[in-house]
Structure 1
């Protein structure tokens, strides 16, 4: 067998139990994101109200809004970004094996 021959392994389709486990994991991640977004909106709304009631000078709530917002963006990315497909995994594996 020469170096250019690719071995193709076929993986069996996932079982119902594996699919159920993956679905439960995805639903939990989405629920956690919803909780995170709710807390973000409620806490930052409360901070803006405090800012307004205390005289509405320099808009200091921008710091927690921006800082926490970065965390929200990364959390959203983690939950909504698509998982790698089997094809992309195989392509990357082939590229890595060619480097050796």
Structure 2
């Protein structure tokens, strides 16, 4: 891999990591705000659990897919698929 290509890939990964960090900060601040609203509104059923859980799951998926990216499609993969399509 050329130095320029490696640099571009490193820059893309750094931008993605920075974006994930910002999303996590937004997640924490927003959910703390929801918990405060819940506490000030007389509590009751803990409804902030829903956005906390589902938004948290999407963040976990994004972080996992960042650390475990799909491998690029190789020439061998293409040949294998072509042979499979022929039969």
Normalising TM by the smaller chain, what interval? 0.7 to 0.9
Q: Structure 2-normalised TM-score?
A: 0.80
Instruction: Tell me what 1:30 maps to.
Output: 17
Q: Number of matched residues? A: 85
Quote the RMSD (CA, aligned, Å).
1.9
- The structure with more radius of gyration: 1
Question: What TM-score results when the alignment is normalised by the length of structure 1?
Answer: 0.71
Using the alignment, how far apart are the partners of 2:28 and 2:76 within structure 1?
41
* Gapped regions of structure 2 (runs ≥ 5): none
Residues 51 and 59 of structure 1 are in contact (CA less than 8 Å); yes or no, is this contact kept in structure 2?
Answer: yes
